[in-house]
């Protein structure tokens, strides 16, 4: 080892936790990353250069104090490290698992710009929080004074959970309504268990309940309970209802048997796993040739789920090149390891069916990327380069758009043309909408995005709500 602590990276290469061997991992849905262990987590943390102006913190959407907690981990001070992680991130063990670190903190690590490879920030975050929770660590809320204020949160996805957590720290009661029977939003029903074990979300649920968060599940706002009622009953409302409108590629043949949209496909699989049931016939892919259309994280999840459902082949079609893929490079790598073939520079044109109305092939055309001086290079179809790909099953993963609830608009909340809820405009507080008592965050505000950005919004919304309610208390006191 080098004597100078700062230069440990010269001798110690970047190491991620070992993953389960491919032949075993594709037989089930367990998380594929192994446990880091204290020795490895400490040693890998010691690779940090402790840059004076850490870019990793800047690139992390919740601006975690990364070098500070890496130092604590290196010194074996796990509980202190977990406490510091939790200060900026209400869901650290979840972000440590699902953040595309190569595009965020680790992509910005100074060591990543060299041949040495970034510090394994995400894996350390995950291990430390898991370990601290295992050791019974919980935040100390004994000094928190209850304010008597109450907030309704609509949506138990990461935005709503982060908001609830931070409200409790401010002594504000948080009631979380969700139409699903379980918390987590896409953490539970979208992201497959091989990326995020559902037991991790359950542990977080117990943690939040201990903080005093109340979950009112199986309640769809607008159907089972009126939004106006919530506005009457609570001091403020946070809306974190996500983005669930499919981007429709309008491909001819999309109504054929065997053509699925990504989310129903993934949800059906997660739900039947939770019920411990075999796949429904439509999703039993044994012996089938599967084509996944789309190169984002959702596409990668569909690829890897199709492999586990026994597909004979899985081909992922993307219209640009590999470097332009929007998702995490790590997930592309895992898909490839597990047997997925990638076909880049192909634009799907139509889905072809057989005489029984079942999908049999996807017609694609080759593309080339053309730069017109504005934004990303655009794919242009190359005339005469059409071909057919065999496909018994086609999964469309073209992304999602916001799905703003009608009741928001009818209560005067302004939306952008895209359907995104506008927050923080014209002197409003961060995450405050055009209605002063309605706050919003997550995919409903940003469009389909990332867990960690939803967490950021929930956290910021809680701070704004606390600020607004404190101002109200002062105003009432002043009048009195
Ligand atoms: P959601 O997680 O969508 O939660 C919204 C909640 O609101 C849901 O529980 C819903 O039931 C509830 N709701 C909606 N309307 C109502 C109503 N009227 N009444 C009551 N409840 C309501 N991000 C990553 O960072 N890493 C990944 O690896 C990753 N993988 C993904 C894989 C898939 C398949 C998908 C679809 C997304 C993935 N994402 C990933 C994106 C990430 O999951 C989202 O950005 C994030 O979950 C958004 O959080 P949210 O709280 O805004 O919304
Ligand atoms: Fe990296 Fe995500 Fe953790 Fe931030 S929250 S440090 S981006 S893994």
pLDDT digits (tens, 9 = 90+) for 36-45: 888 899 999 9
pLDDT number for residue 472 = 80
Question: 129 pLDDT exceeds 60?
Answer: yes
ipTM of predicted assembly, 2 dp? 0.98
Q: Scan for tokens 């190169």, then name that residue.
A: 295
The most distant pair of C-alpha atoms in the chain lies apart, rounded to whole Å, by 79
Both structure tokens of 42: 């400490």
Question: 392 pLDDT exceeds 80?
Answer: yes
pLDDT number for residue 4 = 41
Q: Express each pLDDT in 332-373 by its tens digit.
A: 999 999 999 999 999 999 999 999 999 999 999 999 999 877
Q: Does the beta carbon of 307 lie inside 6 Å of ligand 2?
A: no
- First vs last Cα of the chain: how many Å apart? 68
**Angstrom distance (rounded) from CA 149 to CA 172:** 5
Q: Express each pLDDT in 314-337 by its tens digit.
A: 999 999 999 998 888 889 999 999
**Angstrom distance (rounded) from CA 306 to CA 310:** 7
**For the residues of 26-88, what is the DSSP string, one character each?**
TTS-S--B----HHHHHHHHTT----SS-HHHHHSTT---HHHHHHHHHTT-HHHHHHHHHHH
Which one of the ligands is nearest to 122 CA?
2
pLDDT number for residue 315 = 98
Ligand 1 centroid to Cα of residue 188, in Å, is: 9
Q: What angle do CA 80, 188, 262 make, to 5 degrees?
A: 135
pLDDT, greater one: 397 or 140 = 397
pLDDT number for residue 10 = 75
Q: Does the beta carbon of 177 lie inside 6 Å of ligand 1?
A: yes
Ligand 1 centroid to Cα of residue 163, in Å, is: 14
Q: Give the DSSP letter of residue 21.
A: P
pLDDT number for residue 5 = 66
The helix/strand/coil state of 212 is coil
pLDDT, mean of residues 81-109? 96
Least trusted range by pLDDT, from 17-26, 377-386, 400-409, 467-476: 467-476
Looking at the DSSP bridge assignments, the partners of residue 217 are 178
What share of the chain has pLDDT > 90, as a percent?
A: 83
pLDDT number for residue 140 = 83
pLDDT, mean of residues 192-213? 95
pLDDT number for residue 471 = 82
pLDDT number for residue 480 = 62
pLDDT number for residue 2 = 42
pLDDT-derived band at 3 (thresholds 50, 70, 90) equals very low
Residue 319 C-beta-side C-alpha neighbours within 13 Å: 20
Q: Does the beta carbon of 82 lie inside 6 Å of ligand 2?
A: no
Q: Do 462 and 163 touch, CB atoms closer than 8 A?
A: yes
Give the sign of the dihedral formed by CA 186, CA 187, CA 191, CA 193.
negative
What share of the chain has pLDDT > 70, as a percent?
A: 98
- The residue whose CA has the least distance to atom 1 of ligand 2 is 105
Ligand 2 centroid to Cα of residue 12, in Å, is: 22
Question: 312 pLDDT exceeds 80?
Answer: yes
Q: Scan for tokens 């367990």, then name that residue.
A: 30
**For the residues of 394-439, what is the DSSP string, one character each?**
EEE---EE----HHHHHTT--B-TTSPBP-S-TTPPTTB-SSTTEE
Question: 167 pLDDT exceeds 70?
Answer: yes
Question: 1 pLDDT exceeds 90?
Answer: no
Instruction: Find all residues with CB under 8 Å of 375, minimum gap 6, and list them.
Output: none
Ligand 2 centroid to Cα of residue 260, in Å, is: 32
What rounded mean pLDDT belongs to the chain?
A: 93
């Amino acid at each position: 080892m080098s004597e100078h602590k700062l230069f440990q990276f010269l001798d110690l290469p970047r190491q991620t936790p070992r993953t389960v061997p491919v032949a075993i991992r594709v037989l089930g849905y367990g998380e594929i990353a192994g446990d880091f262990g204290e020795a490895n987590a400490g040693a890998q943390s010691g690779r940090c250069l402790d840059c004076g102006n850490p870019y990793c913190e800047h690139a992390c959407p919740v601006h975690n104090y990364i070098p500070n907690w890496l130092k604590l981990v290196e010194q074996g001070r796990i509980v202190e490290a977990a406490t510091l992680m939790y200060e900026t991130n209400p869901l650290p063990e979840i972000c440590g698992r699902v953040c595309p670190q190569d595009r965020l903190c680790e992509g910005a690590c100074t060591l990543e710009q060299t041949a040495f490879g970034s510090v394994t920030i995400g894996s350390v975050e995950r291990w430390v929080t898991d370990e601290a929770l295992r050791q019974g660590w919980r935040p100390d809320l004994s000094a928190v004074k209850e304010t008597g204020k109450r907030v309704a949160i609509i949506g138990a996805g990461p935005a709503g959970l982060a908001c609830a957590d931070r409200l409790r720290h401010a002594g504000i009661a948080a009631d979380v309504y969700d139409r699903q029977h379980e918390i987590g939003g896409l953490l539970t029903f979208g992201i497959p268990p091989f990326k995020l074990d559902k037991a991790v979300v359950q542990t977080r649920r117990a943690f939040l309940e201990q903080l005093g968060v109340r979950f009112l599940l199986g309640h769809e706002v607008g159907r089972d309970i009126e939004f106006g009622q919530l506005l009457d009953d609570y001091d403020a409302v946070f809306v974190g209802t996500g983005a669930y409108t499919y981007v429709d590629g309008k491909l001819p043949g999309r109504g054929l048997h065997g053509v699925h949209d990504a989310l129903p496909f993934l949800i059906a699989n997660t739900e039947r796993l939770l019920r411990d049931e075999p796949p429904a016939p439509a999703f039993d892919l044994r012996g089938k040739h599967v084509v996944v259309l789309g190169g984002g994280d959702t596409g990668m999840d569909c690829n890897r789920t199709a492999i586990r459902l026994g597909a004979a082949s899985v081909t992922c079609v993307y219209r640009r090149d590999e470097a332009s893929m929007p998702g995490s490079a790590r997930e592309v790598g895992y898909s490839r390891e597990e047997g997925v073939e990638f076909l880049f520079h192909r634009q799907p044109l139509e889905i072809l069916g057989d005489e029984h109305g079942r999908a049999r092939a996807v017609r694609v055309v080759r593309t080339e990327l053309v730069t017109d001086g504005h934004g990303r290079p655009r794919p242009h179809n190359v005339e005469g380069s059409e071909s057919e790909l065999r496909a018994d099953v086609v999964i469309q993963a073209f992304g999602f758009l916001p799905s703003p609830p009608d009741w928001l608009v009818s209560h005067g909340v302004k939306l952008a043309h895209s359907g995104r809820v506008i927050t923080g405009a014209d002197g409003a507080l961060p995450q405050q909408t055009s209605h002063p008592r309605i706050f919003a965050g997550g995919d409903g505000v940003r469009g389909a995005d990332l867990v960690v950005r939803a967490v950021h919004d929930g956290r910021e919304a809680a701070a704004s709500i606390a600020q607004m309610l404190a101002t109200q208390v002062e105003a009432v006191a002043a009048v009195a």
